[in-house]
Amino acid sequence: MRVAGIDCGTNSIRLLIADVDAAAGELIDVVRRMEVSRLGQGVDRTGRFDPEALARTLTFVDDYAAQCREHGVESIRFAATSATRDAANRQLFVDGVRERLGIDLQVLTGEEEARASFTGAISALASADDPLLTVDLGGGSTEFVLGRSDGIVLGAASMDVGCVRIYERHLKDSGEAGIEAARADVRAAMDATGIDFSAARTLIGLAGTITTVTAKALDLDVYDPERIHATRLPFAEIDEACEWFIHASVEERAARGFMHPGRVDVIGAGSLVWQEIIRRLERETENTTALTSAVTSEHDILDGMTLWAAREPNPPHL
């Protein structure tokens, strides 16, 4: 069966078209794409989609619809996450997707988003010590799932902290004072999740901020998903890479061959969030599981939505 998943977050929109190996329950990639649409531009401040951001994103949906037609996709699941949850005029986006794909998108709650990310991450995980904690660091929110490698979820939470939201709130026009305010924001949000971070024996990081930080830590010349996926890095190396992004200029970031142009402005904010998370995990597991490293995954909510399209078919009208 040929299926597709689409994930539209605050910063990016992504498409995965895949064939499903029903016996193994695995995906075989046909097309995997990512574009920076910045749908969530200004949503944290206004509570509404900006018309230009909405039009920009729907142009990519047109393109994805054409790709799905070309490749004979039989089922599509479309996830809209943090920005769409928060936008009072979200119906404009819902209607635009229905016109182009002939399906209803799923506006996922924070917990649903976390669980879909967890499903996608463990679908491509060779082995891990349980319990494992997945961290999906997006543009508008960050999702945590504490669970087991057999798919059992022990706890899930979402916090309204992500690279775009933190950038717009604290770092767009501020210096060191903005950095300290951003750190306080992240810490307070983590306090409110209710997740028992001290129980984690494996930490898995997902999504663009974390994969880009990993590319920096590996000193890659170009972005290489195969090198990045399943890389285990010591916390000290992650911390160093995050610190570089937080303080580097826009020009220094853009000069890196692995850097996607659409992340250049917000990667410092995302790196600050990831740095605060690993520092928290190191402190809280010091007397329990003594976590000292994190695994980066290139598989996340996009894979989870594509697996859902196979599990519960949702035929499009293209």
The pLDDT tens digits for 240-282 are 999 999 999 999 999 999 999 999 999 999 999 999 999 999 9
Cα separation of 142 and 10, whole Å?
A: 11
Among 176, 258, 172, which Cα is nearest to 215's?
Answer: 258
CA-based end-to-end distance of the chain: 17
Ordered by where they begin, the domains of the chain are 2-109+302-311 (3.30.420.40), 125-296 (3.30.420.150)
Residue 256 carries which DSSP code? S
Q: Mean pLDDT highest for which of 173-177, 210-214, 287-291, 302-306? A: 210-214
pLDDT level of residue 171 (50, 70, 90 thresholds): very high
Average pLDDT (175-202) is 94
The confidence score (pLDDT) of residue 231 equals: 95
User: What is the percent of the chain where pLDDT is above 70?
Assistant: 99
Report the relative pairing of strands 153-159 and 293-297 from DSSP bridges.
unpaired
- Residue 104's contacts (CB-CB under 8 Å, 6 or more residues apart) are 94, 97, 98
Would the pLDDT of 208 be above 90?
A: yes
Higher pLDDT, 128 or 226: 226
Average pLDDT (168-172) is 91
The confidence score (pLDDT) of residue 22 equals: 65
- pLDDT tens-digit map of 213-247: 999 999 999 999 999 999 999 999 999 999 999 99
| Summary mean pLDDT of the chain | 94
Among 270, 86, 268, which Cα is nearest to 162's?
Answer: 270
The confidence score (pLDDT) of residue 26 equals: 82
- pLDDT tens-digit map of 10-63: 999 999 999 988 666 688 999 999 999 999 999 989 999 999 999 999 999 999
User: Edge to edge, what strands does the sheet with 153-159 contain?
Assistant: 153-159, 142-147, 132-137, 202-206, 293-297, 232-234
Contact 49, 71 (CB under 8 A): no
Would the pLDDT of 306 be above 80?
A: yes
pLDDT level of residue 122 (50, 70, 90 thresholds): confident
Handedness of CA 15, 20, 25, 26 (dihedral sign): negative
Would the pLDDT of 127 be above 80?
A: no
Cα separation of 89 and 48, whole Å?
A: 6
Contact 164, 40 (CB under 8 A): yes
Alpha helical stretches, state H, the chain = 43-46, 51-70, 82-86, 90-101, 110-123, 163-166, 176-191, 208-217, 225-228, 235-247, 250-254, 267-284, 301-311
The confidence score (pLDDT) of residue 61 equals: 98
**What is the DSSP annotation of 144-189?**
EEEE-TTS-EEEEEEES--HHHHIIIIISS-SHHHHHHHHHHHHHH
pLDDT level of residue 8 (50, 70, 90 thresholds): very high
- Residue 79's contacts (CB-CB under 8 Å, 6 or more residues apart) are 5, 6, 7, 8, 105, 106, 108, 113, 116, 301, 305
pLDDT level of residue 156 (50, 70, 90 thresholds): very high
pLDDT level of residue 76 (50, 70, 90 thresholds): very high
User: What is the percent of the chain where pLDDT is above 90?
Assistant: 83
Structural tokens at position 265: 């402005």
Contact 264, 250 (CB under 8 A): yes
What's the predicted TM-score (pTM) here? 0.91
